[in-house]
Amino acid sequence: MEKKTRTIGILLLVLLALLITFFGLKKWNTSKSETEEKKKENAVVHIFETDSLESIEYKEASGEEMSFVKEDDTWEYAPDTTIALTESSMQNMEDAFSDIQAVKEIKNPDDLSDYGFDSPEYNLTLTGKDGEAHKFLIGNASGENYYFMEDGTEKVYTVSADLISEMVWQLADVAEKDSFVTVTSDNFVKETVTKPGDEVKTYEADNEDQEDTVTSIMTALSGFYFTDCADYHVTDATLGNYGLAEDQRTKVELTYKEYELLKLLMTNAGIVTTRELILDRVWGIDFEGESRTLDMHIKTLRQKLKEEGSLIKTVRNVGYIMNGEKA
């Protein structure tokens, strides 16, 4: 009897061990399946990938389009290859389009028009070194992402809005801008100015009688810089489009203080500049003269600027403001 009881006990222990093993394996398999499923969900989907992008073209729904091609490892603006492009801007664009990754894939997409592909926001064409052109459609926004698909397929993805930001650049944003010559006391030797009527004036750094004028010239030129390019191939015939034809130009001779005053007001265009700030910036923190000095300079400046002088407005008991409305 005792032997039979011991045998049953051993069998029960074996059965318990088998049950523990069974449920342990089941749980492990379930956990493994869930892990693999998560890996699939988190796996990076490369919609388009190339190690050598050769051309980039995109067109907005508005009709605006841009096209760039790479020649001898240098990006060029396809419609006009004489326009130099900023290397860093084009490199950022190339990096973004060389590996387009999906945020997620839309499973079993319904009508493609639901995602905006019947009238896409952008059409994007990328060509790799193999010469094959890949065309993509960018549809509606989806939160912080956009719907994205390769033309001719039925796979729909969402991509980050960061990718779309690379397609909002205009030519002026990526074109290389010229730099205005740097003028300092170390390199300034002489300036020659030709005025209407062929009147010529020369200012030389070693002329002691012209020391103040030369200082004003250097200060004025140091503030020059180019913001945007309005025309990449301007001619005498088109200068008038920018108010730069000979008969359109306004020529003004300013003293050093008048120039500094005008520059300060233009820098703060649309913003009221207080009398205290103007006196501090133009005349210096140690200025102890009459504040009427400022009023007299404003009056003279308005007179010299003629019609444009009315752009400088007085803000009673506060200061002055320059805006775009003439009196």
Give me the residue spans of the domains in the chain: 46-174, 178-249, 250-327
Residue 248 sits at the vertex; the CA angle it makes with 247 and 250, to the nearest 5 degrees, is: 105
Q: How far apart are CA 16 and CA 10, in angstroms?
A: 10
What are residue 66's DSSP bridge partners? 58
> Quick one: pLDDT at residue 12?
67
> Quick one: pLDDT at residue 203?
81
Pull the structure tokens for residue 144.
């912080």
Residue among 25, 87, 95, 86 nearest 56 (CA) = 95
Read off the amino acid at residue 9.
G
Domain 46-174 is found in CATH 3.40.1130: no
Residue among 47, 65, 67 nearest 56 (CA) = 67
Measured in residues, the chain has a length of 327
Domain 250-327 is found in CATH 2.40.50.110: no
Residues of the chain short of pLDDT 70, as ranges, are 1-19, 22-43, 194-198, 250, 285-291, 324-327
Question: Measured over all CA atoms, what is the biggest interatomic distance in the chain, rounded to whole angstroms?
Answer: 135
> Quick one: pLDDT at residue 39?
47
Pull the structure tokens for residue 76.
């060029």
Classify burial at 271, counting beta carbons within 10 Å of its beta carbon; exposed 0-12, middle 13-18, buried 19 or more: exposed
> Quick one: pLDDT at residue 125?
96
> Quick one: pLDDT at residue 134?
95
What are residue 98's DSSP bridge partners? none
What are residue 45's DSSP bridge partners? 102
Residue among 274, 281, 267 nearest 319 (CA) = 274
Classify burial at 122, counting beta carbons within 10 Å of its beta carbon; exposed 0-12, middle 13-18, buried 19 or more: buried
Residue indicated by tokens 């005792």: 2
Residue among 194, 220, 196, 216 nearest 205 (CA) = 216
Instruction: Enter the pTM of the model.
Output: 0.56
